Amino acid sequence: MNKCAVVVILAAGEGTRMKSSKPKVMHEVCGYPIIEHMVRTAVEISESLPVVVVGHQAEQIEQYLGQRVRYAYQSQRLGTGHAVMVAHSILEKIDGYAVVVAGDIPLIRSSTLQKMVEYANEGGYDAVALSAILDDPTGYGRIIRNEAGDLERIVEHKDATEEQRRINEVNVSAYCFNIQLLLSSLNQLDNNNKQGEYYLTDVLHIMKEAGNKVGVFVAQDSDEVLGINTRVQLAEVEQKMRQRINRYHMENGVTLIDPNNTYIGPDVVIGSDTVVYPGNVLEGRTIIGEGCTLYPNNRIVNSVIGNQTQVQASVILESRIGDETTIGPYAYLRPGSNIGNRVRIGDFVEIKNSSIGDRSKVSHLSYVGDGTIGRDVNVGCGVVCVNYDGVKKHRAVVEDKAFIGCNVNLIAPVVVKEGAYIAAGSTITDEVPEYSLAIARARQVNKEGWVEKRQLKKKGE
């Protein structure tokens, strides 16, 4: 595989049509900013760090991408040709091919760009533009070919004649250029067009006139070209990418009951024979094992789930869950929850920064915060780890095989030793020895006849 020497991503534009306070390329598609998708694609096909041309709200993009790329600054947005010019000082030191790509086409595949580079290489081209055939080419630059079928020039929609607008082969905004020829041709650009901009597209015509070899490579999948200029297009691209991701998982042996209502991020891994019901949102670096069932309406972020585990209507953040465990409905696992195998976490249970050992049960209405719960522990309904004294957080430790009755408060720091029982309604402040029973609640007092004495109610009325 012949990589290109460098990729230049144009991302200085304001994205006016997004009507947003943040730069267009920072809007998210399937959970990541548009620019993230572009940079990942660039890294796959180039030999050196990608160059990102930034301008409008450059700091936001720089803050996000950090040192993963090189930057060129376009202080005035004078057009896509001008955007490449500002990368001059970086590009002049590099020989070979540069791929130049608009920053707003995240569906573009690295394999397509790679094929374009190979086409340029094999044909000895000085420049190749990527094109695609669209049913509705409105808004895109059109590929104008001569009688021989070779590229004549690219005409922007706004500059095109009625006849040219009927052409449905469009410019994708991804090109492969001989770097040194690109730089010398950029010097000859003018801005005599409807938008008064320096169009990168004109460079191809200039190069051709100068006798260089200029060609077009047609992309197979027209979906790849969809650019994002508006929020409507943002949603369209999101849907296409989602379909691509979902198809990948189904082909890998995952059942998606309704792929149109399943939201899986690009980095999520799912084992085979897992079934995903509608309304699941799987984000970040989440890994789901084999044979799991994700019943409707979960949000799972940066978490690892074992095999044969079932989750329903729950939120799981930065946590780990073992095999054959059941979570939910309506459980909330906050960061740092480490749940073992064959555990049962039931409804309205919140867990944070805690571990729950194998086969333990926290079935209803409990809060386990900063707790270390052993294996085979039963945590009754309504148990609270009282972990915060207003200043500091403290740990509650419950050893293996302990039984915590309903409505118990464990005032941390506290330890419940192995096999101990705690009576319902107890407020535990001291260590409970192993295999003993702790009762920490006021004794019941019955005052016979109290109601009638007070004349509140009469018997038999």
Q: For binding to ligand UD1 (CB under 6 A), which residues are involved?
A: 10-13, 53, 74, 77-80, 82-83, 102-105, 140-141, 154, 156, 170-173, 199-201, 227, 229
Residue 358 binding partner per list Ca ion, ligand UD1, none, with a CB distance cut-off of 5 to 8 Å that depends on partner kind: none
Spatial CA neighbour of 99 closest among 176, 36, 28 = 176
Residue 350 binding partner per list Ca ion, ligand UD1, none, with a CB distance cut-off of 5 to 8 Å that depends on partner kind: none
Collapsing DSSP states into helix, strand and coil, what is residue 332? strand
Closest contact distance (angstroms) between CB of 346 and ligand UD1 is 49
Closest contact distance (angstroms) between CB of 230 and ligand UD1 is 11
Residue 346 binding partner per list ligand UD1, Ca ion, none, with a CB distance cut-off of 5 to 8 Å that depends on partner kind: none
Query: Of the two residues 74 and 337, which places its CB atom closer to ligand UD1 in the complex?
Result: 74
For position 104 contacting Ca ion by CB under 5 A, the verdict is yes
Residue 241 binding partner per list Ca ion, ligand UD1, none, with a CB distance cut-off of 5 to 8 Å that depends on partner kind: none
Closest contact distance (angstroms) between CB of 119 and ligand UD1 is 19
Closest contact distance (angstroms) between CB of 129 and ligand UD1 is 9
Closest contact distance (angstroms) between CB of 75 and Ca ion is 20
Query: Of the two residues 106 and 374, which places its CB atom closer to ligand UD1 in the complex?
Result: 106
Query: Of the two residues 103 and 328, which places its CB atom closer to ligand UD1 in the complex?
Result: 103
Segment interacting with Ca ion, rule: CB under 5 A, options 80-88, 153-161, 226-234, 243-251? 226-234
Closest contact distance (angstroms) between CB of 229 and ligand UD1 is 6
Going through 312-434 in order, the beta strands assigned E by DSSP cover 315-317, 320-321, 326-327, 332-333, 338-339, 344-347, 350-352, 355-356, 361-364, 367-369, 371-373, 378-379, 384-386, 396-398, 403-404, 409-411, 414-416, 421-422, 427-428
Backbone angles phi, psi at 295, to 5 degrees: -70, 175
Can you tell me the distance from the alpha carbon of 338 to that of 172, in angstroms, rounded to the nearest whole number? Answer: 47
Closest contact distance (angstroms) between CB of 91 and ligand UD1 is 15
Residue with the CB atom nearest ligand UD1 in the bound state = 141
Query: Of the two residues 135 and 461, which places its CB atom closer to ligand UD1 in the complex?
Result: 135
Residue 179 burial by Cβ neighbours in a 10 Å radius (0-12, 13-18, 19+): buried
Residue 34 binding partner per list ligand UD1, Ca ion, none, with a CB distance cut-off of 5 to 8 Å that depends on partner kind: none
Specify the residue for token string 């070979």: 96
Q: Which x/- pattern over 2-41 shows residues binding Ca ion (rule: CB under 5 A)?
A: ----------------------------------------
Query: Of the two residues 25 and 368, which places its CB atom closer to ligand UD1 in the complex?
Result: 25
Can you tell me the distance from the alpha carbon of 459 to that of 453, in angstroms, rounded to the nearest whole number? Answer: 11
Amino acid letter, 155 = V
Query: Of the two residues 34 and 254, which places its CB atom closer to Ca ion in the complex?
Result: 34
Collapsing DSSP states into helix, strand and coil, what is residue 202? helix
Specify the residue for token string 């799991």: 292
Amino acid letter, 345 = I
Closest contact distance (angstroms) between CB of 229 and Ca ion is 5
Q: Site for Ca ion (CB under 5 A): which residue of 215, 227, 346, 369?
A: 227
Can you tell me the distance from the alpha carbon of 372 to that of 388, in angstroms, rounded to the nearest whole number? Answer: 15
Can you tell me the distance from the alpha carbon of 25 to that of 210, in angstroms, rounded to the nearest whole number? Answer: 35
Identify the active-site residue in 56, 82, 157, 364: 364
Window 333-352: residues binding Ca ion (CB under 5 A)? none
Give CA separation, 308 vs 114, 293, 348, in Å: 40, 7, 22
Query: Of the two residues 26 and 321, which places its CB atom closer to Ca ion in the complex?
Result: 26
> How many residues interact with Ca ion (rule CB under 5 A)?
3
Spatial CA neighbour of 277 closest among 263, 260, 294 = 294
Can you tell me the distance from the alpha carbon of 418 to that of 310, in angstroms, rounded to the nearest whole number? Answer: 28
Residue 177 binding partner per list ligand UD1, Ca ion, none, with a CB distance cut-off of 5 to 8 Å that depends on partner kind: none
Query: Of the two residues 46 and 80, which places its CB atom closer to Ca ion in the complex?
Result: 80
| Helices 34-45 and 58-65, axial angle in degrees (round to 10) | 60
Residue 364 is among the residues annotated as catalytic for this protein: yes
Which strands make up the sheet holding 338-339, listed edge to edge? 269-270, 287-288, 304-305, 320-321, 338-339, 355-356, 371-373, 396-398, 414-416
Q: Which chain residues interact with Ca ion by CB under 5 A?
A: 104, 227, 229
Supply the residues annotated as catalytic.
364
